[in-house]
Structure 1
Amino acid sequence: MKLHKISIIIPILNEEAQIVALLETLLARMKHPHHEILLIDGGSTDKTIEVVRDFISKLNHQQHFSKKRCVDSLFEASSETTCIQLFSSEKGRAKQMNFGAQKATGKVLYFLHADTFPPKHFDELILEKVREGHQAGCFRMKFDYMHPVLLVSQFFTRFNVNWCRGGDQSLFVMKSLFHELKGYNENYPIYEDCEFIHRLYDEEEFTVIPKSVVTSARKYREQGTWKLQYHFAVIHIKKSKGATPEELYAYYKKYVS
């Protein structure tokens, strides 16, 4: 059976401290190394671009990867199997992820945050769901911080209901369905993941894979877990009551960012 290629799309901005760890994890945990990784930079001002280029150069040297031309790519490594590409786009996670979807060559899109690490053989787990007929879905989620509030929050990610979803759980979606729904709404500076997932649920096209990604709780540690969880809950409530993208972002900027 021919396996679908997965395009792993990662929006990045000032991720020099951990982007290499993520790339190494992705390469180590793939079962079928014929996919592609697309890093979409939104204008990093740290050493993210330099770090990624160095990683790709070392990969080329250590594993004998062969270069091939890639239109509009800032830097690329490829072999007969895995392909890693670095692109630049406008800032804004929705814009960056839409840009990545435009450049993707796989039939399956997998959107992943730069501080979220998928489980072993994540690609096969996604493809199993695709073979079962599912067109979109995510993983369960665990935090890298054992706080009671976060333990409760991550517990509910096992349930296949709309209000239990979030971008940190990552997201796979068939490219055809993604384009049919016109991708992420770029009017949302925040909440873009949830807004798109809501539309997937409206199409009754969602499943939850019973394995967990591990995501960073750095923002919770920095700002306080109870405080941040409260503000995120308020944002969800405001959206359910019809708040505009501008209103959600204004609240986020005031209390979170």
Structure 2
Amino acid sequence: MLISVIIPTLNEEERIGSLLKFLTSHPLKNRFEVIVVDGESEDKTAVIARTFDVPVYTSDPCSRALQMNKGAKEAKGDVLYFVHADVQLVPSFVNDIIEAVSKGFESGCYRFKFDNPSNPLLHINGFFTRFPFKWCRGGDQTLFITKEAFSRIDGFDERFVIMEDYNLLDRLGQEGLSFKVIAKSIKVSARKYETNSYLKVQAANLKAMKMYKKGESPDLIKKFYTSALD
């Protein structure tokens, strides 16, 4: 079983090197491939990624859903593993995913905790990711899905320039596809909370989710979200 690790990037020159170093030096690197799909970064993200001798594709226009679909089209793996550039994966991710798929799970994710939780309230966010509630999910937790299941739901809906992960999870549920929350925590960046207050981020997340549930356009949700946070 081959895993395709797909990383959508945009201006991640400070983070992408650490993730790719971890992946390209992993003792089980023969069990997975790495694909970077860059959204035409204005910094050196793509340059840095290419120094690790991994394929780097460009997506125009920049859209995470479009980038991840492009990576999936190029993928040779049986399982697709979508990973944001600013996360720290658990060393056991290869065996974890293979075990979950071997047990019949067609998709899943990890719990998470923040890499630098300066605000103690951030521990609450991480704690709730152990529960099977959809509002606890998100792309930061990384997502694995079999290529067959991904094809069955037609991948990410590229109309969603934001909330693409929640939309995909909704469609996974509608198709009755099994989902596993692996009982280990990856680390995600707390940078959004470093430039905004905890309550400000939580309020923006809540409103964006409400807009999504009401069926408001992804463009409108993105316009609100980018204006609400620094």
- TM-score tier (shorter): over 0.9
Counterpart pick for 1:139 among 85, 99, 110: 110
Q: Is the 8 A contact 1:162 1:201 kept in 2?
A: no
Indicate yes or no: 2:72 matched with 1:101.
yes
Matches for 1:99-138 after TM superposition, within 5 Å: 99-138=70-109
Q: Which amino acid aligns with 1:128?
A: E
Query: What is the SS of the residue equivalent to 2:7?
Result: strand
Residue segments in structure 1 that go unaligned for 5+ positions in a row: 57-76, 78-83
Q: Which amino acid aligns with 2:38?
A: D
**Other-structure match for 2:132:** 160
Query: What is the SS of the residue equivalent to 2:110?
Result: strand
Q: 2: distance between equivalents of 1:199 and 1:30?
A: 35
- Kindly state the Cα deviation for residue 32 of structure 1 after the two structures are TM-superposed: 5.2
Q: Is the 8 A contact 1:5 1:36 kept in 2?
A: yes
**Other-structure match for 1:211:** 184
Q: Is the 8 A contact 1:29 1:121 kept in 2?
A: no
- Kindly state the Cα deviation for residue 200 of structure 1 after the two structures are TM-superposed: 1.3
Identity %: 40
**Other-structure match for 1:10:** 7
Q: 2: distance between equivalents of 1:227 and 1:247?
A: 19
Indicate yes or no: 2:19 matched with 1:48.
no
Query: What is the SS of the residue equivalent to 1:33?
Result: helix
- Kindly state the Cα deviation for residue 185 of structure 1 after the two structures are TM-superposed: 1.0
Indicate yes or no: 2:225 matched with 1:255.
no
The superposition leaves residues 213-236 of structure 1 with CA deviations (integer Å, 9 ceiling, x where unpaired) of 101011110122221111111111
Indicate yes or no: 2:209 matched with 1:236.
yes
Q: Is the 8 A contact 1:27 1:33 kept in 2?
A: no
The superposition leaves residues 53-80 of structure 1 with CA deviations (integer Å, 9 ceiling, x where unpaired) of 2x32xxxxxxxxxxxxxxxxxxxx3xxx
**Other-structure match for 1:169:** 141
Q: Which amino acid aligns with 1:52?
A: A
Q: 1: distance between equivalents of 2:101 and 2:65?
A: 24
Q: 2: distance between equivalents of 1:162 and 1:37?
A: 28
Q: Root-mean-square deviation (CA), in Å?
A: 1.5
Q: 2: distance between equivalents of 1:32 and 1:85?
A: 15
Q: Is the 8 A contact 1:97 1:184 kept in 2?
A: yes
The superposition leaves residues 105-130 of structure 1 with CA deviations (integer Å, 9 ceiling, x where unpaired) of 00100000000111012011000000
Q: Which amino acid aligns with 1:237?
A: K
The superposition leaves residues 158-185 of structure 1 with CA deviations (integer Å, 9 ceiling, x where unpaired) of 0122221111000000001101101111
**Other-structure match for 2:196:** 223
Structure 1 segments, 4+ long, off by >6 Å, are none
- Kindly state the Cα deviation for residue 46 of structure 1 after the two structures are TM-superposed: 0.9
Q: 2: distance between equivalents of 1:127 and 1:30?
A: 15
The superposition leaves residues 129-149 of structure 1 with CA deviations (integer Å, 9 ceiling, x where unpaired) of 000010000000111122232
Counterpart pick for 1:150 among 111, 122, 125: 122
Query: What is the SS of the residue equivalent to 1:37?
Result: strand
Q: Which amino acid aligns with 1:253?
A: T
| Range moving further from structure 2, 20-29 or 131-140 | 20-29
- Kindly state the Cα deviation for residue 33 of structure 1 after the two structures are TM-superposed: 2.7
**Other-structure match for 2:33:** 36
Query: TM-score by structure 1 length?
Result: 0.84
Counterpart pick for 2:58 among 80, 85, 88: 88
Aligned length in residues:
227
